[in-house]
Structure 1
Amino acid sequence: MKNFFSLLLTLSFWASIAQDNTESEINDVYNKWSFEFNFGQSKGIKPYSEGYFASHPGKFFGGVTLNHFSGGARYMFSPKFGLKADLAYDRLENLSDKSLDFELQQIRFGIQGVINGARLFDIQEKLGRFSFLFHGGFQVAQMIPQMGPLKGRDEWNGGLMFGLTPEFRVSKNLAVNFDLTILSNVRQHFNWDGMEYSADNNNLAGSMYTTSLGISYSFGSEKVHGDWAVIRNKQLEEIKALEKRVGEIENNMNDSDQDGVPDYLDAEPNSIAGVAVDTKGRMIDLNKNGVPDELERYLNNTYTSKETLIESQKETIKQFINDGYVATYFDFNKTQPTNVSTEGIDFILTYLRNNPTATVDIIGHADEIGKTPYNDKLANTRATNVKNILMKAGIAENRLNVISAGEDTSVDKDSVGARRLVRRVTFKVK
């Protein structure tokens, strides 16, 4: 018993140190106050006079004999450690034919340290609605015999107490518990039968235990009982926030078109592989004719000249367009091209002007976000708006054919960068 109490005191000390070390790290988001009421049975273990035996408190069910009542308030300084004060009433009497009759009342007041064992051992998530508390401390009591020659006399004594309280949360702030408490008096002159007492210089070592059922109700601004509140550690939250930021940076550093410019800085995330780009990821086009300079050199600077354009070069440009290298892009849920992606329209305009017999399909696309019918309509509207731009630039309507390709499912719909690549209009020369 002494070893157990020593362990309890050690755990209390450890918890208080842990409280000091982590107080600044834990958000103050749990109810600290709770009020408790218990009722049950108490039994004096020793000392007894000759012919008297330990009271037999009876059974809880059937002929119920309740001789212990207590109530108290608890305050948790941290999620693991707190203090409680309680007041208890015990009536010890004989209920057995083997003992002489006796009756003694005890009124006790205690101050105890409390440890939330589930949090101490970090098993609260596994226990769910269950929890358990360790408690231990000091108590003072008034013993009053109700029978015999000492009836009406009283004495004050004191000692130590410790116990274990399993709990079960039945609602947000209400819990039921079962408590086992052992008391050990270091100064006691009355026996538990109240019939004899020792001299003042001969203190008795008395002990008793109580078993009881009870309830505890937690008070505070939070919606969950303080013994079960989710405690958020500030340092862990900062680490998670940092991890999220790192993830965002990694995502931003993706380079979809492999041009050496991260997507979050890339004004043209669909540049042709191998074509030089500027610091914003745009393919270099010094003469502003809508054709990247490297591609223009590859075509020997002939695609804009009708007179010098030979058939093989026409086919090369046509294939270049039909393979999707010429496109214009749109922001999410928008129907007008982005400012930095109108070069594709310029390219088609130049091609159609230099090839007056050519016609072109204008093909609208959308990403997978949203409902399919809406995306089909959105893709058609994007293609129609590009057609209108070309018509206003002088291209006859009968040379332009609008097609809605609807949703493009070729990319990961959960990737923001990938979805930007499919919100586009492409062209197919006939």
Structure 2
Amino acid sequence: MKKIIYLSVALTGFLNLYSQEKTEKISTDYNKWSIDINAGLSRPTTPFTQGYFVEDLSFFHVDFGARYMFNPKFGLKADIGIDKYDQSKNSLPFKGEYYRANLQGVVNVGRILNFEDFSQRLNLQLHAGFGYSYLQTDAFDGKDEMTNVPIGLTAQFKISERVALNADFTMINNISQHYTFDGNTGGVDGPIIQDRGFNSTMYNATLGFSIYLGKNGKHADWVADNSELVALEQRVAQLEIMLNDTDRDGVADYVDVEPNTMGGISVDTKGRGIDMNSNGVPDEVESYIERMKKGDTNISTKGGQSIEDLINGGYINVYFDTDSSKPKSESMDAVNFVIQYLRNKPNASVDLIGYADEIGNSEYNKSLSVARSTYVKDIITKAGINASRLNTIGQGEDNSVDANSKEARSLVRRVTFKLK
């Protein structure tokens, strides 16, 4: 009997936790309320006083309940039941009545076991809980009050979306019952039951109906819970997106801190063009810079990109320390790259576009991005390039990278170039 107590307590606690978790995840376009009405047979078994016997099947039991399903798998119901019984033909005379009121958890076994895979009309529900009950007989005055713990199984057959036929079998165990079901104490010393554990049992077998309430077309009893499948599909879709490699550098976008790496450029594990000397120019572009310095203006990379593509694609950058408008010394090669290009292309002009990371005040970062592009413009003009060919733009914060990543932030504190 102790197992029944543990089962009831565990079931109630589990239902509370699980319903809170799952209610938010499953679509609610189904009805949740129902009224359950049942009638049938009852059979009290123990305890009875010697010489008292009950009919094997007493044809009076009714119960009525209101049920609420948190989702297609779990719910709660409040119900009341009435049992009446009397002696068999071989028994001393007696009559008894048993009344109960319960709160029970409901597990929709059919949905958990996916009955819908083979039937749209059959279902099975497990219910268990606890409640208050009392016994009255013609052998004593007043009520014998007790706690009861029911556990049962309900088979369902769906007649329509509004009504289902139920066949239920329930075992009810009572705690602290003082009188036998025939109303006797069992002896001159008082009640037969002296302990406070489970000490009586009654069985119910009923037929009845579940009447579904609500404006939706289906009730939760008959709705397949596909939330786990939907969640899995969403996770797979997210993985597919994360595993995209937009710039085809062999590093998935979700870990690629430089998602627009030029084709053919070797990258590190974080998708950055390998730049061993940290001068703002990928190492594999260095050879093209040297050729351009020698006057070769029709250079293309391994990926078929021209020098103009390198500049306009954001591969040539001038980088800055945090809260600084002065370029890092190693970034001067990138500035010289642009200077050399403008010397070789006297009719070309360029936008100098400054950026800041997301740390700090946005207005301040806007001013800092302007200061950075202005500083680079001053360097280029001092190298002999007419200022009219240079246009400074302050773009403010670049929020295209993870603001919590120090490495990613270092890539957006920059000035990049756009040829016109």
User: 2:118 is paired with a residue of what secondary structure?
Assistant: helix
**What's 1:42 paired with?**
42
**What's 1:23 paired with?**
23
Residue deviations 1:146-187, cap 9 Å, x none? x34x2x432211121111101110111100111111111111
Q: 2:62 aligns with which of 69, 72, 80?
A: 69
Task: Give how far 1:84 is off.
Answer: 0.6
Distance, in Å, in 2 between the alignment partners of 1:109 and 1:14 is: 21
Specify the structure having the higher radius of gyration (Cα). 1
Q: 1:191 to 1:199 in 2, by over 3 A?
A: closer
Q: Does the aligned pair in 2 maintain the 1:42–1:209 contact within 8 Å?
A: yes
**What's 1:172 paired with?**
161
Residue deviations 1:298-347, cap 9 Å, x none? xxxxxxxxxxxxxxxxxxxxxxxxxxxxxxxxxxxxxxxxxxxxxxxxxx
Distance, in Å, in 2 between the alignment partners of 1:2 and 1:238 is: 39
Distance, in Å, in 2 between the alignment partners of 1:111 and 1:207 is: 18
**What's 1:396 paired with?**
none
1:131 matches 2:123: yes
Task: Give how far 1:13 is off.
Answer: 4.7
Q: Does the aligned pair in 2 maintain the 1:5–1:136 contact within 8 Å?
A: no
Report matched runs for 1:263-278 at 5 Å.
none
- Structure 2 unaligned blocks of 5 or more: 241-420
Distance, in Å, in 1 between the alignment partners of 2:191 and 2:10 is: 35
Task: Give how far 1:120 is off.
Answer: 2.2
**What's 1:216 paired with?**
210
Q: Does the aligned pair in 2 maintain the 1:5–1:162 contact within 8 Å?
A: no
Task: Give how far 1:240 is off.
Answer: 8.0
- Structure 1 unaligned blocks of 5 or more: 59-65, 247-430
1:227 matches 2:221: yes
Q: Does the aligned pair in 1 maintain the 2:107–2:127 contact within 8 Å?
A: yes
Distance, in Å, in 2 between the alignment partners of 1:176 and 1:79 is: 18
Q: 1:19 to 1:126 in 2, by over 3 A?
A: farther
Q: Does the aligned pair in 2 maintain the 1:218–1:226 contact within 8 Å?
A: no
1:92 matches 2:89: no
Say how many residue pairs are matched.
236
User: 1:25 is paired with a residue of what secondary structure?
Assistant: coil
Distance, in Å, in 2 between the alignment partners of 1:85 and 1:104 is: 24
Distance, in Å, in 2 between the alignment partners of 1:24 and 1:235 is: 15
Distance, in Å, in 1 between the alignment partners of 2:31 and 2:94 is: 44
Q: Does the aligned pair in 1 maintain the 2:115–2:122 contact within 8 Å?
A: no
Q: Does the aligned pair in 2 maintain the 1:169–1:176 contact within 8 Å?
A: yes
TM-score normalised by L of structure 1: 0.49
Q: Does the aligned pair in 2 maintain the 1:174–1:225 contact within 8 Å?
A: no
Task: Give how far 1:201 is off.
Answer: 8.1
Query: Taking every aligned residue pair, what percent have the same amino acid on both sides?
Result: 30
Amino acid at match of 2:107: I
Q: Does the aligned pair in 1 maintain the 2:15–2:105 contact within 8 Å?
A: no
Q: Does the aligned pair in 2 maintain the 1:16–1:81 contact within 8 Å?
A: no
User: 2:176 is paired with a residue of what secondary structure?
Assistant: strand
Q: 2:95 aligns with which of 103, 113, 121?
A: 103
User: 1:83 is paired with a residue of what secondary structure?
Assistant: strand
Residue deviations 1:238-272, cap 9 Å, x none? 948997xx9xxxxxxxxxxxxxxxxxxxxxxxxxx
**What's 1:156 paired with?**
145
1:120 matches 2:112: yes
Task: Give how far 1:124 is off.
Answer: 3.1
Residue deviations 1:401-430, cap 9 Å, x none? xxxxxxxxxxxxxxxxxxxxxxxxxxxxxx
Task: Give how far 1:225 is off.
Answer: 2.9
Q: Does the aligned pair in 1 maintain the 2:23–2:70 contact within 8 Å?
A: no
User: 2:216 is paired with a residue of what secondary structure?
Assistant: coil
Amino acid at match of 2:53: F
Distance, in Å, in 2 between the alignment partners of 1:234 and 1:97 is: 57
**What's 1:348 paired with?**
none
User: 1:114 is paired with a residue of what secondary structure?
Assistant: strand
Task: Give how far 1:4 is off.
Answer: 5.9
Q: 1:183 aligns with which of 157, 162, 172?
A: 172
Q: 1:21 to 1:213 in 2, by over 3 A?
A: same
Q: 1:116 to 1:234 in 2, by over 3 A?
A: closer
Task: Give how far 1:17 is off.
Answer: 4.1
Amino acid at match of 2:160: S
TM-score normalised by L of structure 2: 0.50
The Cα RMSD (Å) is 3.1
Task: Give how far 1:122 is off.
Answer: 3.0
**What's 2:73 paired with?**
80
Distance, in Å, in 1 between the alignment partners of 2:178 and 2:79 is: 23
Task: Give how far 1:74 is off.
Answer: 0.5
User: 1:224 is paired with a residue of what secondary structure?
Assistant: coil
**What's 1:403 paired with?**
none
Q: 1:45 to 1:201 in 2, by over 3 A?
A: closer
Q: Does the aligned pair in 2 maintain the 1:33–1:220 contact within 8 Å?
A: yes
